[in-house]
Amino acid sequence: MPGPLSHVRVLELSRVLAGPWAAQTLADLGADVIKVERPGAGDDTRAWGPPWAGEESAYFLSTNRGKRSITIDFERPEGQELVRKLAAQADVVIENFKVGGLVKYGLDYDSLKAINPGLVYCSITGFGQDGPYAKRAGYDFMIQGMGGLMSITGQPDAEAGGGPVKVGVAVTDVFTGLYATIGVLGALAHRDRTGEGQWVNLALLDVQVAVLANQAMNYLVGGKAPQRLGNAHPNIVPYQAFATLDGHIILAVGNDGQFAKFCQVAGRPELAQDPRYATNPARVANRKELVPILELLLEQRTSRDWLSALEAVGVPCGPINDVSQVFADPHVQARNIHQDLPHPSAGTVPTVASPIRYSATPIEHTVAPPTLGQHTDAVLEEALGLCAADIAALREKGVV
């Protein structure tokens, strides 16, 4: 069944993670995504291995599912003209060049808007199109630091192992890709009503500050910068990892009723009646006294014992899995999150399915990430009407 965006064509002029993540999400929704890559090299992440599946890096495979790859050297005038012709037929362009980086090629928003007024043009940069840092390059790691995420991630400075820690996935890039997708969908909805395209701008730093969520509001309302709490939560207690007799579990008590159930299972029902711990605000205020008590309780029983007993009474809790355990989990397997796709050089490659589940237009993953330039001839023939001789001439010149 066609996806909800099967009527949309996306021209992707981006590489690495944030832009490709947005384009992959649109491809998952059914859009025809044409990824323009450099001849001979392609997206930087094609070389970011090991590990490899055939000749493709796992990193590249993680963010380029469902696309068609075409190689064009748009530093050459002939290449620029090819991209402009493709953009004239596109609904969306996604690019992540530095501010003004595509102007010299005539591939910036104003240039492409002149030939396609309905175009939705999405630019992703580190710091946005204006402001004192606009010209700087931006990378996820440095943005996690500049945007406050590392100030609230990791153990407190005074504890062993304390200090700033980045998140183990490039979450700022991923969030930016998702916000870019949302921005594009909103612009397409506007175009459907008015016929008018527009320029959608995303900045990694803007996104990182936005997704500070409650921690940002804790500062703006309370006037005090949040600090690192390890696995603890600034606004909920107990909501953290605890050591057990044979490992660790996560205890995520979200309300007072759940705390009372936990105390009953732990054999300390009186804790839930103690005015110092009976309500969440009281538990937050007295966490330094309460958490050591809970640590002693949790250490007395195995992880399996705790999880079984707490799940039975509806207290949120869970194990701490490594990635191999995640994909071995029976629920993850039942949800069909790991899928395998046929691939022209590797035979098959794994993919992590989109988490979006539609009732009327279910997402089907059938197209693996492309090999470099896999669809060059097909796209040039289909979209631009070039014949084999025309394409051969462009290839001889190194344009494609």
Is the C-alpha dihedral spanning 63, 65, 66, 67 positive or negative? positive
Q: Of 32, 73, 140, 173, which residue is the catalytic one?
A: 173
Q: Which H or E run includes 393?
A: helix 388-397
Q: Is 39 exposed, middle or buried (0-12, 13-18, 19+ CB in 10 A)?
A: middle
Only one residue has tokens 């051969």, namely: 392
246 catalytically annotated: no
Is the C-alpha dihedral spanning 260, 261, 266, 269 positive or negative? positive
Please, are residues 11 and 384 in contact by the beta-carbon 8 Å criterion?
Answer: no
Tokens read off for 42? 């392609």
Residue type for 87, please? A
Tokens read off for 185? 């969908």
DSSP letter, residue 97: P
**Chain CA centroid to CA 55, Å:** 24
Active-site amino acid positions: 173
